[in-house]
A and B are shown apart, each in its own frame.
Chain A
């Protein structure tokens, strides 16, 4: 019978917290960049200017057809070279975090853009007509009328995607970057307590994601109640 020994966890907490910060940093930067670039992609996709629409469609389909772990690996292999070349960096500068952030951001933008596109399309066409009839330009109609309504409807989906993204950050282990999962793995490996550490890490992921989804659900209820009346 396997004897659990949790004693290596308390001492490792500061190190694990450092890892958690890396995970959160990657999540946050990818969410922000993903929403901004995703919005741009969604608007290109819906634009009557064909080349823009093709570019956005190509981008989204490409990233959605490749496993995230491969994207990360490529970015791990390529981006450091590029960054070093471009900024004349010391070969010892650690750019793994930056390249992971860029990889996630570009990848997640593809998913965010699909959510945002659906959100924009969920706003009735008559709203654009009404805005145009009042003399608003297309950009004004988008910014003042369509996007605010689209985002209000999309918040639950955007947050749910952020939760998935937070879980996916564990894939940066391919670049040996010490995110939360990587940190837990390292500690477990060092102390020969892999099972305990991975169980602990799993519990932490579960608690965070479960709490976050409950919050999303509560927000969604409020939103539905608001729309109903």
Chain B
């Protein structure tokens, strides 16, 4: 589904990604973790072309992301993405947030888009809030709406960039529950997160990044059982203290 092959990226002389290679098969859930500044966000944003990269190739469902001939808008319209700070559109009601891209990008008609949006809103448990504005919802609720907004586009895979790290602790689980359910339904997912409980529960593989490199890319059991690198061991020990 997603194939990342020797991808490198730099800002001027600063190397953000160095020869990153990995694959995500259909239905797989991959968790990406690593210290701050290690390039996790950058890598995941390269997957849908939000960040350009200088060398290597990324293909999503057979389409090359870095190819200038690729219609990136079209590719992105069926790759869902969820951001750390939700990024709902604050000037639109929840319903409009859920329907705008369906209508303007996929060309669905109003009723169809609305039905779909409300069905997904119900699914994340927020049906009663359809007429509200994002500013009237809690962080956890906003993030669930953001997930519903991405799902409304019928994505072939989902990318998550630290979806729970901006949330108060008591709201983290409501978002993780939605993600777990999604994983169990067979959605292909690439998740940057430090929620190791989530990784243990649903991840097929865990990728550990450090200084722009993929240091570990292992099955979940191997990663949690005996991480190969010293850096990953230290990282896990630190995370588990929280």
Assuming the contacts A126-B85, A129-B50, asked whether A135 and B90 have C-beta atoms less than 8 A apart, the reply is no
Flag if B83 contacts A134 (CB, 8 Å).
no
Flag if B153 contacts A126 (CB, 8 Å).
no
The 8 Å CB contact of B91, one of A124, A129, A152, is: A152
Flag if A140 contacts B83 (CB, 8 Å).
no
Select from chain A the residue with minimum beta-carbon distance to B105. Answer: A135
Which residues of chain B are near A148, meaning CB under 8 Å? 91
- Within residues 89 to 122 of chain B, which ones have a CB less than 8 A from any CB in chain A? 89-91, 100-101, 104-106
Assuming the contacts A144-B100, A229-B135, asked whether A135 and B76 have C-beta atoms less than 8 A apart, the reply is yes
Bound CA–CA A127/B80 (angstroms): 15
Which residues of chain A are near B101, meaning CB under 8 Å? 131, 134-136
Flag if A134 contacts B76 (CB, 8 Å).
yes
- Smallest beta-carbon distance B104→chain A, Å: 6
- Within residues 141 to 188 of chain A, which ones have a CB less than 8 A from any CB in chain B? 144-145, 148-149, 152
The 8 Å CB contact of A135, one of B74, B89, B135, is: B74
In the complex, the number of residue pairs spanning A and B with C-beta atoms less than 8 Å apart equals 65
Which residues of chain A are near B90, meaning CB under 8 Å? 149
Among A129, A130, A137, the one with the most B-chain Cβ atoms within 10 Å of its Cβ is: A130
Flag if B83 contacts A129 (CB, 8 Å).
yes
A65 at the interface (CB under 8 A from B): no
| B-contact 0/1 string along A15-38, CB 8 Å cutoff | 000000000000000000000000
A122 at the interface (CB under 8 A from B): no
B87 at the interface (CB under 8 A from A): yes
- Smallest beta-carbon distance A115→chain B, Å: 19
Flag if B104 contacts A126 (CB, 8 Å).
no
Q: How large is the interface on A (under 10, 10 to 19, 20 to 34, 35 or more residues)?
A: 20 to 34
Which residues of chain A are near B153, meaning CB under 8 Å? 134-135
Which residues of chain B are near A135, meaning CB under 8 Å? 73-74, 76-78, 101, 105-106, 153
- Smallest beta-carbon distance A146→chain B, Å: 10
Bound CA–CA A1/B90 (angstroms): 63
A133 at the interface (CB under 8 A from B): yes
Which residues of chain B are near A47, meaning CB under 8 Å? none
Flag if A136 contacts B73 (CB, 8 Å).
yes
B48 at the interface (CB under 8 A from A): yes
Flag if A140 contacts B48 (CB, 8 Å).
no
- Smallest beta-carbon distance B101→chain A, Å: 4
- Within residues 186 to 229 of chain A, which ones have a CB less than 8 A from any CB in chain B? 227, 229
A61 at the interface (CB under 8 A from B): no
Which residues of chain B are near A130, meaning CB under 8 Å? 81, 83, 87-89
Bound CA–CA A136/B229 (angstroms): 41
- Within residues 101 to 138 of chain A, which ones have a CB less than 8 A from any CB in chain B? 124, 126-127, 129-137
The 8 Å CB contact of B104, one of A140, A149, A152, A227, is: A140
B149 at the interface (CB under 8 A from A): yes
Select from chain A the residue with minimum beta-carbon distance to B51. Answer: A129
- Smallest beta-carbon distance B99→chain A, Å: 11
Assuming the contacts A132-B50, A133-B48, A133-B81, asked whether A127 and B89 have C-beta atoms less than 8 A apart, the reply is yes
Q: Name B's A-contacting residues (CB within 8 A).
A: 45, 48, 50, 73-74, 76-81, 83, 85, 87-91, 100-101, 104-106, 135-136, 149-150, 153
5 additional contacts, CB 8 Å, given A133-B79, A135-B153, A149-B89? Answer: A132-B50, A133-B81, A133-B83, A133-B150, A149-B91
Closest 3 CB pairs of A and B: A135-B77, A130-B87, A134-B101
Q: What are 20 inter-chain pairs, A to B, with CB distance below 8 A? A: A127-B87, A127-B89, A129-B50, A129-B83, A130-B83, A130-B87, A131-B89, A132-B50, A132-B73, A133-B48, A133-B50, A133-B81, A133-B83, A134-B153, A135-B106, A136-B101, A136-B105, A145-B89, A149-B91, A229-B135
